[in-house]
């Protein structure tokens, strides 16, 4: 079959809602888009361990410390399933790691902001994991089997993460005036960056049309952002916290919350490597890579020895 016929057969399988598996024929553009997206997602999970990892030694109780440790470890696991999903497309994990460390690869904008107080742990679980769930329940139904299955498992764990975050915030918001103020301050700092996690508005999203044609994405960035806002506003009201947007208003006609303009200039600065904490995040990943060198050497020597004995 020539490529034109293969493409038609591929697109009719997508149209019929079939799942594409690693050994199936796929157009190069589909493979390229998936490698880009899955690897950015994997890097986000790995870099995403840093802001919360920063608070493990300072958690306010042993219970909170154990929960935070487990959460950060889950994020590492997500990174590993996602790198494995990317490898099914014929790319080496080593190559992806190098792209991250050289600053060539993108990872989620949200992880380039600092975590300044314990309330940030609650807010990250509530907003960042909450946003990730809205985005990834869609991706769990995407057309590429290994990525869909990875997201299914990730979403189950993220939903626990979100609950633990909201629980921290509920405790702080119902605590002393200082604790409530700390929760409000974290909400003020994380709200808009969390909304920008969904990516630019649809007209400034060059990848969306192709991703939606191939059912990698089933919904546009704007629709998902709106869904997240609609879900989160009542949660903020329930704990008596204010979302930092004077234009936030329920629209009876559309049944959605209207919201104010986001700072897209800031977003593009952050994803170009010039956000508040980009430099620190890459520095930490490079150090981790260097510190783990002896483990990689030992693992390779062990594998080599087993090969010789086999």
Q: Which parts of 66-85 interact with ligand FAQ (CB under 6 A)?
A: 75
The answer to whether residue 129 forms part of the interface with ligand FAQ (CB under 6 A) is yes
The answer to whether residue 48 forms part of the interface with ligand FAQ (CB under 6 A) is yes
Closest residue to ligand FAQ in the complex (CB): 48
The answer to whether residue 109 forms part of the interface with ligand FAQ (CB under 6 A) is yes
Angle at Cα 171 formed by Cα 151 and Cα 226, nearest 5°? 45
Select the residue interacting with ligand FAQ from 10, 35, 41, 282 (CB under 6 A). Answer: 41
The answer to whether residue 275 forms part of the interface with ligand FAQ (CB under 6 A) is no
On whether the CB atoms of residues 208 and 103 are closer than 8 A, the answer is no
Structure tokens of 167? 């629980």
The answer to whether residue 135 forms part of the interface with ligand FAQ (CB under 6 A) is yes
To ligand FAQ, the closest distance from the beta carbon of 120 in angstroms equals: 11
CB nearer to ligand FAQ: pick between 7 and 218: 218
To ligand FAQ, the closest distance from the beta carbon of 297 in angstroms equals: 29
Q: Which parts of 243-272 interact with ligand FAQ (CB under 6 A)?
A: 271
- Burial readout 55-77 (b: 16 or more C-beta within 10 A, e: otherwise): bbeebeeeebeebbeebbebbee
Q: Which residues pair with 144 in a beta bridge?
A: 20
Q: Which parts of 184-203 interact with ligand FAQ (CB under 6 A)?
A: 197-200
Question: Distance between CA 47 and CA 281 in Å, rounded?
Answer: 7
Contacts with 86 (C-beta within 8 Å, 6 or more apart), sequence order: 34, 35, 38, 39, 42, 93, 96
Q: Under DSSP, is residue 281 helix (H, G, I), strand (E, B) or coil?
A: helix
Structure tokens of 57? 């030694």
Select the residue interacting with ligand FAQ from 13, 32, 65, 106 (CB under 6 A). Answer: 106
**Helices 62-87/93-101 angle, 10° precision:** 120
The answer to whether residue 40 forms part of the interface with ligand FAQ (CB under 6 A) is yes
CB nearer to ligand FAQ: pick between 109 and 184: 109
Interacting residues toward ligand FAQ by CB under 6 A: 36-37, 40-41, 44-45, 48, 75, 106, 108-109, 124, 128-129, 132, 135, 197-200, 205-208, 211, 221, 271
């Amino acid at each position: 079959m020539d490529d034109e016929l293969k493409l038609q057969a591929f697109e009719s399988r997508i149209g019929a809602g079939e799942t594409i598996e690693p050994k199936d024929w796929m157009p190069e553009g589909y493979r390229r888009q998936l490698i880009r997206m899955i690897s950015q997602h994997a890097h986000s999970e790995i870099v995403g361990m840093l802001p919360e990892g920063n608070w493990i030694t300072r958690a306010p109780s042993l219970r909170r410390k154990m929960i935070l440790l487990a959460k950060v470890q889950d994020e590492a696991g997500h990174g590993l399933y996602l790198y494995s999903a990317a490898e099914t497309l014929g790319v080496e994990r080593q190559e992806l790691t190098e792209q991250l460390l050289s600053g060539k690869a993108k990872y989620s904008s949200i992880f380039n902001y600092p975590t300044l107080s314990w309330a940030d742990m609650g807010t990250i679980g509530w907003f960042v994991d909450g946003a990730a769930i809205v985005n990834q329940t869609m991706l769990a139904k995407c057309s590429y089997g290994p990525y869909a299955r990875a997201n299914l498992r990730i979403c189950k764990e993220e939903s626990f993460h979100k609950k633990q975050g909201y629980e921290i915030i509920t405790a702080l918001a119902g605590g002393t005036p200082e604790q409530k103020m700390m929760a409000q301050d974290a909400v003020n700092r994380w709200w808009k960056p969390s909304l920008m996690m969904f990516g630019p508005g649809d007209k400034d999203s060059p990848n969306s049309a192709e991703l939606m044609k191939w059912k990698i994405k089933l919904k546009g960035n704007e629709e998902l952002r709106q869904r997240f806002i609609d879900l989160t506003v009542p949660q903020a009201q329930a704990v008596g916290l204010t979302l930092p947007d004077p234009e936030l208003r329920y629209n009876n006609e559309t049944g959605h919350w209207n919201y104010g303009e986001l700072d897209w200039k800031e977003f593009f600065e952050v994803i170009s490597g010039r956000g508040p904490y980009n430099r620190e995040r890459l520095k930490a990943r490079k150090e981790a890579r260097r510190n783990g060198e002896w483990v990689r050497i030992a693992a390779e020597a062990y594998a080599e020895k087993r090969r010789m004995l086999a």
